[in-house]
Amino acid sequence: MKHRVLRTFAAGLALLAAVCLAGCAGYRAGNQLLFRSDIRTVYVPVFESDLYRRNLGELLTEAVIKEIEQRTPYKVVHSPGADSVLYGRILTDGKGVFAEDQFDVPRAIEYSMVVEVRWVDRLGNAVMRSAVIPVDLSVAAAEDFIPEAGQSVASVQVEVVRELAQQIVGQMEAGW
């Protein structure tokens, strides 16, 4: 009689545990809450650029790949057969005088860049987080630099590229 009660109690306990654990089957934690669960891999071809500055597309592509790997649960693959593809095109970049002295010598210069981004799934459907955001998203970043302080166009370019990569990956977050 004791064994029968113990078996019934154990079976009931096992059933309760199974029901409780089944409720947590779809639970996601951490940064996985911010990103779509139906996409696991992203292919990022080199960002296109018709500008005269060399290697800008490669520099931005590398920064975006690093940002995706660090901030998202997605795995970047080198195959167009991935779950999704993130296309990018550098539209403009430029320098402008931000401040000059009394002799019209530039003292502070602004460097800016605008990038168009399109994220599609394997079937070519837009994957962006909201219908409000257009399929072709323009992202812009600008940084000031002062040549007299030892800053150069190359150093500020790296900073603008890093900022753009953060903005692009931020757009990959799922909508609430």
Judge residue 15's burial from the number of C-beta atoms within 10 Å of its C-beta, 0-12 exposed, 13-18 middle, 19 or more buried.
exposed
Min mean pLDDT across 68-82, 144-158, 159-173 is at 144-158
What share of the chain in percent tops pLDDT 90?
21
In a domain, 120, yes or no: yes
- CATH code of 75's domain: 3.30.160.150
Up-side HSE of residue 170: CA atoms within 13 Å toward CB?
7
Q: State how beta strands 41-43 and 84-100 pair.
A: parallel
- Residue numbers of the domain that contains 136: 36-170
In a domain, 117, yes or no: yes
In a domain, 8, yes or no: no
Tell me how many domains the chain contains.
1
In a domain, 27, yes or no: no
136 or 51: whose pLDDT is higher? Answer: 51
In a domain, 7, yes or no: no
Count, residues in the chain: 176
Q: Is the pLDDT assigned to residue 25 strictly greater than 70? A: no
Note the pLDDT tens digit of each residue in 67-98: 999 999 999 999 888 999 999 988 888 777 77
Strand, coil or helix: 78: coil
In a domain, 175, yes or no: no
